[in-house]
Chain A
């Protein structure tokens, strides 16, 4: 197990290193930092002097070394637009996105588990069939379209829910949360439903197919033969083993969810990382783009490594297969 852990952590470090190289390459090719920082009314000599002072005339590997050294210390450069450290901007915007992901994960969890389990237990019932039918419609509707249609219906036509922003926030230390006020919940409702709309059908289908596979297995037949109650076989014996693959897929889907936050936040003008990212793209704000890439990369690698480690803990065959 320790060898497995060390190998996974080593892989994670390599991936983070590669991401940092990509980030550095982006920083080198997008925008001119001297012009962004000095403005137009500065003479050519002063600019050259400034360039020298910033170390932009050094060979690229020296510059990369400096970039990497700074990045490890949490310094990812200064945003051209905000004129503040990019890390600071990221940390300020992160809570909005994390809350959005959290609430939509809860929605997915609360609906996918009972619905998936039910449609596996009673695959021929009318409800299960309707569910499977509507789930394929669900995956075929793009997130941004769901979001726009919800805005049109609930904000413009009915006027029940606010169409943009996060509403009233409460500061908890540096974390501005909208989850403690009624207004905040009204604002997060539509974005989180929109965000979960594409993932929910996928999870229902996944849980259903895993559970159906488990229900066919020998040990479940044995459990029936022993005369255990339905409830015990379904929820204690079968459901437990359904969860294993769901954990791994859940880890992978987090990446997808973060990608979809960009779309959802754009529609609802949700002041989170995705909205900030699109603004940074429009403004060619290279340091902020790179900071977002690094932040998302580290979160993704971190989550995937943790998921793999948990999976290795609960399923020993993975560890052995990995050794070869």
Chain B
């Protein structure tokens, strides 16, 4: 109860109650995340079950269109899968990959940022140059290259089986510099403060100073960055899948659904592209709005660019 009370008195909760946009974004996001978690219960069909898919049902428009049927509320895709179910399952994959990738890049980037920032010297110079170079290529380019090469090496069929852990790895590895830079910047500011000096005099080991003393003080920029990075990771995953370098079409994410619909858009089947696209935009937008809100509350000097 104590923690909850503390939270109720915090500035974060105070600002949140007064920000209608933030409240709306959080509600939308919660609904989407819950739908993704309970996908098997909510989705009317199971898009992975070949028994439930009938190719004769392919490309049925949404129910409110003239040729639509009530069975498939949002229509069906080119393989006869129910769009609503496929989208919910697709969003589930997008969120899993987004969260996984952010967890990976946060662990990598925070550790590198903490230790490089605290110790300085050659290690620091090396990692920061590496981060500069990688950022100058942009994370999307690095991710596209890594998946393209790996797909060429392991072959498309095998690639499909390992796609989820692989995308987590690719997106995680391509985006660690943002964390490393942000954390390093706050470590450099914290390092000179007296409590760190005191800990050093008390004879704490440097890893204990870094993890126990400095790390908690870098949390608020990390929190803000993480929100934006989840949105970025979801977008990257969608971009990779759209290029055919991500999730295969038999287990589609939102990006691969958009891709599969793109081929059919010239024949008028707009919903296979537009509906997953809309869901993707709503998901990313609600995360970005929350990120904006958190940034305004904590107002840390995030690294520019």
State how many residues of chain B have any CB contact under 8 Å with chain A: 41
Which stretch from A25-33, A45-53, A66-74, A98-106 is at the chain B interface?
A25-33
**Interface residue from B133, B231, B235, B304 paired with A245 (Cβ < 8 Å):** B304
**Chain B residue nearest in CB terms to A210:** B304
Q: Known contacts A145-B280, A156-B266, A263-B242: does B152 contact A31 (CB below 8 Å)? A: yes
Provide the main secondary structure of the chain B interface.
Answer: helix
Say whether A197 faces chain B, with CB atoms less than 8 Å apart: no
Minimum CB–CB distance for A111 against chain B, Å = 20
Bound-state CA distance A137–B287 (Å) is: 11
The CA-CA distance from A245 to B303 in the complex, in Å, is 12
Complex CA gap A54/B238 in Å reads 41
For B304, what are the chain A residues with a Cβ–Cβ distance below 8 Å?
206, 245, 249
Q: What residues of chain A lie closer than 8 Å to B199, measured between beta carbons?
A: none
The chain B residue with its CB closest to the CB of A15 is: B133
Q: How far is B24's CA from A143's CA once the two chains are assembled, in angstroms?
A: 25
> Which chain B residues in 285-300 approach chain A with CB under 8 Å?
285, 288-289, 292
The answer, yes or no, to whether B68 is at the interface (CB within 8 Å) is: no
Contact with A along B127-148 (1 / 0, CB 8 A): 0010001011110110011001
Q: Majority SS of interface residues in chain A? A: helix
| Closest chain B residue, CB of each to CB of A198 | B235
A301 & B239 in contact (Cβ 8 Å cutoff) = no
CB-contact partner of B141 in A156, A259, A282, A284, under 8 A: A259
Please measure, in the bound complex, the distance between the C-alpha atom of A151 and the C-alpha atom of B258, giving whole angstroms: 14
> Which B residues between 231 and 267 are near A, CB-CB below 8 angstroms?
231, 235, 238-239, 242-245, 258, 262, 265-266
Pick the interface stretch among B69-77, B99-107, B270-278.
B270-278
Tell me if A140 and B284 are in contact (CB < 8 A): yes
Taking beta carbons and an 8 Å cutoff, which residues of B are in contact with A? Answer: 129, 133, 135-138, 140-141, 144-145, 148-149, 151-153, 231, 235, 238-239, 242-245, 258, 262, 265-266, 268, 270, 273-274, 277, 280-281, 284-285, 288-289, 292, 304-305
Which A residues have a C-beta under 8 Å from some C-beta of B?
11, 15, 18, 26, 29-31, 136-137, 139-145, 148-149, 151-152, 156, 163, 206, 245, 248-249, 251-253, 255-256, 258-260, 262-263, 266-267, 277-278, 281-282, 284, 286, 289, 293, 296-297, 300-301, 304
Going nearest first, the 6 A-B pairs with the smallest beta carbon separation are A259-B141, A255-B138, A259-B140, A140-B285, A256-B138, A140-B284
